[in-house]
C-alpha cells in the first residue's frame, strides 16, 4: 500500500499528502491506472484524520492527477484522462458553485447532524413558513453574507430553493396573462416560470452597469406592469452590479410608479462586502420581496431558499401558496447548513470557492479580452456580449472542441436588444479540465478575423 513519508515542517497535512502524491507520480512510484489506498486505510497508516486524506484526494482529482470512481476507488490518471484528451466534454453551461469543498465539509456535517437532538424533529411536518429557529438562522446568515439588514424572521419563509421562492412570489403577485418586467438579459429560470404560469415578460434596457432606471419608467408606462424582477448584484448572465447611486434612483422610480420590486440576490455571498452596495431590500423594505438561497453559495442539493416579504401580512399571503405546493417549509437542508455555519465550515466553503472563482475568472477574462471588474472578481459566471450570429458561431466551434457553454437563447428576451455567451466557472470540477477549456477558447479567439468571433466588449 502506498504510504508516503510526511515531513514535520508545519505544512498542513493534506498538502503534505498531496505533495507526496505528486512526487510519487513524477518519479514513477505511482503509475497510471494504479489504485490508491482507500482513504480510511491511508488515514490509519499515516495517523491522520480521514477528512485530511479526503481533502488531499479531492485536490488531486481537481488538479487532474487522479480519477475517482464511486464504489471502485481512486486511481492515478492515465494520459488519455489528462488535459490533452478531447473525448470528454467540459461543461460550462450550468451555473452552480464549485463542489469540492462543499462535498467534503457537508459530508462531515451530515455525520454530526444525524446525532443532533433536532434531527428527528426535522423529519416531521413543521410550520408552513419554516421552523422559527431556522428562520432566525436564515436571517443571521443573510445579514452576515449579503448585508441584509431587514431580515426580520416574522416576514421570512423557508422554501425548497430560490427557484421555488420565485415561483411562489410571482404566483402570489400575478395572474396568468399579467406582464412582469425584467432585465433584457435575464435568468433562464424566470423565463421557465413565465412559460409555465402564463405570464408575459417585458424587457427593461440595461447598460454596462445594469438596469437603467429611466428605462424601467418607460417600460411601466408602455406595459402597465407594476412588478419588476431584478438581480442587482452579479446579475445573471452579465455579472453586472448596480452602484448605490443607481439603486437609489431605481427605488425612486419604483416608489413614484408604485412598482413592486422582486430582488433576486442568490449571488450576494460572492461579493466582497467592502465593495458591495446595499441590497434593495435595505433601501426599500416596504416595496421589495427579497429572494435568496443556499444553492449558489453552498450546495444546490440543500434545496433551501428564502423569501423576505415587505410585511408579515404579505408573507402570510405567500404562505398560502407554499402550503398548497408543499404543505410546509423545508428543514433538513437548514439543519445541515446551520451545522456548517456554526462550526465554521460554511466560511471555509465560501473561502475556497471565492479563491477558485477569482483565479478562473481572471484567466478567462484575459483570454476573452474582457476588462477586469473588482466587484465581479468572484462571480461564478462570465458574460461575453456579442451579436446573436457570432454567439451561435462561437458556441458551435467550442462544442466541436468539447466545451459546452450556456445555450445562447437561455438568458435572452429579445435578441435585437443584445446577445452573447455565458461561461460558468464553478461547474468544472478539475483544474485540468478548466485549463483544457481555456486553451480551446483561446485558440478560437485567436483565429483569423474571417473565422474568429469578434467580441463586442
| Domain architecture of the chain: domains with CATH | 13-80 (1.10.10.10), 90-105+345-445 (3.90.1150.10), 117-342 (3.40.640.10)
**Which pLDDT does position 448 carry in this prediction?**
62
Which residues pair with residue 201 across a beta bridge?
Answer: 180
**Which pLDDT does position 71 carry in this prediction?**
61
**Which pLDDT does position 456 carry in this prediction?**
34
Q: Looking at the predicted structure, is the pLDDT value of residue 306 above 50?
A: yes
Confidence at 453, pLDDT banded by 50, 70, 90? very low
Q: Looking at the predicted structure, is the pLDDT value of residue 412 above 80?
A: yes
Q: Work out the number of other CB atoms within 10 angstroms of the CB of residue 322.
A: 25
DSSP per position, 299-367: -GGG--EEEE-SSHHHHHHHHHHHHHHHSS---HHHHHHHHHHHTTHHHHHHHHHHHHHHHHHHHHHHH
What confidence tens digit (pLDDT) does each residue in 177-187 have? Answer: 999 999 999 99
- Which residues, 6 or more positions from 362, have their beta carbon under 8 angstroms from its beta carbon? 372, 377
CA dist 170 to 145, 185, 369, 433, Å?
A: 25, 19, 38, 39
Mean pLDDT of the chain: 88
**Which pLDDT does position 163 carry in this prediction?**
93
Stretch (H or E) spanning 267: none
**Which pLDDT does position 228 carry in this prediction?**
98
- Which residues, 6 or more positions from 38, have their beta carbon under 8 angstroms from its beta carbon? 73
The answer to whether the beta carbons of residues 312 and 343 sit under 8 Å apart is: no
The answer to whether the beta carbons of residues 361 and 425 sit under 8 Å apart is: yes
Which residues pair with residue 412 across a beta bridge?
Answer: 185
- Which residues, 6 or more positions from 400, have their beta carbon under 8 angstroms from its beta carbon? none
- Measured CA to CA, the distance from residue 444 to residue 363 in angstroms comes to 16
Kindly state the average pLDDT of the residues 266-288.
93
The answer to whether the beta carbons of residues 305 and 165 sit under 8 Å apart is: yes
What confidence tens digit (pLDDT) does each residue in 23-40 have? Answer: 888 888 888 888 899 888
Name the region of 58 (left: φ>0; alpha: ψ -120 to 50; beta: rest).
Answer: alpha
What confidence tens digit (pLDDT) does each residue in 206-238 have? Answer: 999 999 999 999 999 999 999 999 999 999 999
**Which pLDDT does position 414 carry in this prediction?**
86
- Which residues, 6 or more positions from 218, have their beta carbon under 8 angstroms from its beta carbon? none
Identify the CA nearest to 272 among candidates 344, 342, 354, 345. Answer: 354
The answer to whether the beta carbons of residues 411 and 422 sit under 8 Å apart is: yes
Kindly state the average pLDDT of the residues 273-286.
93
Q: Work out the number of other CB atoms within 10 angstroms of the CB of residue 145.
A: 20
Identify the CA nearest to 66 among candidates 76, 58, 56. Answer: 76
Kindly state the average pLDDT of the residues 400-408.
90
Identify the CA nearest to 338 among candidates 301, 294, 300, 296. Answer: 294
Q: Looking at the predicted structure, is the pLDDT value of residue 403 above 70?
A: yes
The answer to whether the beta carbons of residues 233 and 187 sit under 8 Å apart is: no
pLDDT-wise least confident of 15-24, 74-83, 405-414, 419-428: 74-83
> To which residue does cell 445562447 refer?
408
- Measured CA to CA, the distance from residue 73 to residue 132 in angstroms comes to 42
**Which pLDDT does position 83 carry in this prediction?**
44
Q: Please tell me which residue, 251 or 451, carries the higher pLDDT value.
A: 251
DSSP per position, 83-129: TT--SS-EEE-S-----HHHHHHHHHHHHHHTTSTTHHHHTS---TT
Q: Please tell me which residue, 189 or 31, carries the higher pLDDT value.
A: 189
The answer to whether the beta carbons of residues 42 and 36 sit under 8 Å apart is: yes
Q: Looking at the predicted structure, is the pLDDT value of residue 82 above 70?
A: no
Half-sphere exposure of 107 (CA within 13 A, CB side): 10
pLDDT-wise least confident of 127-136, 256-265, 328-337: 328-337
Q: Looking at the predicted structure, is the pLDDT value of residue 119 above 80?
A: yes
Amino acid at each position: 500500500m502506498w504510504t508516503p513519508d510526511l515531513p514535520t515542517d508545519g505544512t498542513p497535512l493534506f498538502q503534505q499528502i498531496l505533495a507526496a502524491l505528486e512526487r510519487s507520480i513524477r518519479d514513477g512510484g505511482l503509475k497510471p491506472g494504479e489504485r490508491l489506498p482507500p482513504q480510511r486505510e491511508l488515514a490509519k497508516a499515516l495517523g491522520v484524520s480521514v477528512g485530511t486524506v479526503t481533502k488531499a484526494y479531492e485536490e488531486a482529482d481537481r488538479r487532474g492527477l487522479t480519477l475517482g470512481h464511486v464504489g471502485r476507488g481512486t486511481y492515478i490518471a492515465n494520459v488519455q484522462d489528462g488535459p490533452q484528451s478531447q473525448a470528454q466534454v467540459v461543461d460550462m453551461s450550468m451555473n452552480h458553485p464549485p463542489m469540492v469543498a462543499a462535498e467534503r465539509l457537508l459530508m462531515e456535517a451530515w455525520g454530526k447532524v444525524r446525532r443532533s437532538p433536532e434531527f428527528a424533529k426535522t423529519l416531521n411536518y413543521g410550520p408552513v413558513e419554516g421552523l422559527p429557529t431556522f428562520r432566525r438562522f436564515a436571517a443571521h446568515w443573510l445579514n452576515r453574507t449579503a448585508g441584509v439588514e431587514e431580515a426580520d424572521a416574522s416576514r421570512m419563509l423557508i422554501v425548497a430553493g430560490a427557484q421555488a421562492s420565485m415561483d411562489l412570489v410571482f404566483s402570489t403577485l400575478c395572474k396568468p396573462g399579467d406582464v412582469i418586467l425584467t432585465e433584457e438579459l435575464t435568468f433562464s429560470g424566470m423565463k421557465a416560470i413565465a412559460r409555465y404560469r402564463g405570464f408575459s415578460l417585458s424587457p427593461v434596457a440595461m447598460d454596462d452597469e445594469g438596469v437603467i432606471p429611466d428605462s424601467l419608467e418607460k417600460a411601466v408606462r408602455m406595459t402597465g406592469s407594476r412588478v419588476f424582477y431584478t438581480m442587482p448584484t452579479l446579475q445573471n448572465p452579465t455579472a453586472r452590479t448596480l452602484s448605490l447611486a443607481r439603486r437609489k434612483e431605481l427605488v425612486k422610480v419604483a416608489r413614484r410608479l408604485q412598482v413592486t420590486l422582486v430582488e433576486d440576490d442568490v449571488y450576494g455571498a460572492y461579493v466582497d462586502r467592502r465593495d458591495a452596495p446595499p441590497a434593495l431590500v435595505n433601501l426599500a423594505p416596504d416595496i421589495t420581496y427579497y429572494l435568496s438561497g443556499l444553492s449558489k453559495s453552498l450546495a444546490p442539493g440543500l434545496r433551501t431558499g428564502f423569501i423576505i416579504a415587505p410585511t408579515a401580512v404579505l408573507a402570510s399571503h405567500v404562505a398560502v401558496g407554499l402550503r398548497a405546493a408543499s404543505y410546509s417549509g423545508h428543514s433538513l437542508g437548514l439543519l445541515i447548513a446551520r451545522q456548517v455555519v456554526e462550526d465554521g465550515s460554511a466560511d471555509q466553503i465560501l473561502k475556497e470557492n471565492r479563491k477558485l472563482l477569482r483565479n478562473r475568472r481572471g484567466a478567462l477574462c484575459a483570454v476573452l479580452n474582457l476588462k477586469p471588474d473588482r466587484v465581479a472578481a468572484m462571480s461564478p459566471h462570465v458574460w461575453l456580449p456579442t451579436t446573436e450570429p457570432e454567439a451561435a458561431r462561437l458556441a458551435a466551434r467550442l462544442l466541436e472542441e468539447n466545451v459546452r457553454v450556456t445555450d445562447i437563447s437561455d438568458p435572452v428576451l429579445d435578441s435585437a436588444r443584445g446577445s452573447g455567451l455565458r461561461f460558468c466557472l464553478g461547474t468544472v470540477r478539475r483544474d485540468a479540465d478548466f485549463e483544457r477549456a481555456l486553451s480551446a477558447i483561446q485558440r478560437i479567439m485567436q483565429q483569423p478575423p474571417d473565422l474568429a468571433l469578434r467580441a463586442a466588449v
